[in-house]
Amino acid sequence: MSVEYVHKAVDIAEDGSATNIVSLDIRGISSMADYFVILTAESSRQMKALMEQMSMGLKSLGVRVNHKEGHPNDGWILLDFGDFIVHIFSPEKRDYYLLESAWPQAKELVRIF
């Protein structure tokens, strides 16, 4: 069922005008989660809106945020939904952390530019 929620998270990100959306299957590669959803928001206001939309949209499916880190003003937010983690980055933080390159063996499920 997790992959369905990952696809829903991607849909929410796309509806919220996020850019460079990617979902990665990291099962068997990492013990922290099965999937990552990584996306870019152009402003702290958009980051906050995406965080709220993601939390509420998935909550309506019975999936709740277990843990949250970061802040829109910091340019990075992590939403831990258990089996999958959503990373919302500013363009600068996305370029700095290069999270996708940390998991080169991960299977890319979706990429939306």
User: What is the mean predicted confidence (pLDDT) over 13-34?
Assistant: 96
Contact predicate 106/22, CB 8 Å: no
Q: Identify the pLDDT of residue 36.
A: 97
pLDDT confidence bin for 1, thresholds 50/70/90: low
Cα gap 13→20, rounded to integer Å: 10
Cα gap 63→56, rounded to integer Å: 9
Segment 47-91, tens digit of pLDDT: 999 999 999 999 999 999 999 999 999 999 999 999 999 999 999
User: What is the mean predicted confidence (pLDDT) over 30-41?
Assistant: 96
Give the fold, CATH level 3, of 2-100: Beta Polymerase; domain 2 (3.30.460)
Annotated domain spans of the chain: 2-100
Encoded amino acid at 111, one letter: R
Q: Identify the pLDDT of residue 79.
A: 98
Cα gap 6→44, rounded to integer Å: 23
Helices (H) and strands (E) in the chain — how many of each? 3, 6
Cα gap 90→72, rounded to integer Å: 8
Helix (H, G, I), strand (E, B) or coil at 61: coil
Cα–chain center distance at 8 = 11
Helix (H, G, I), strand (E, B) or coil at 107: strand
pTM (2 d.p.): 0.96
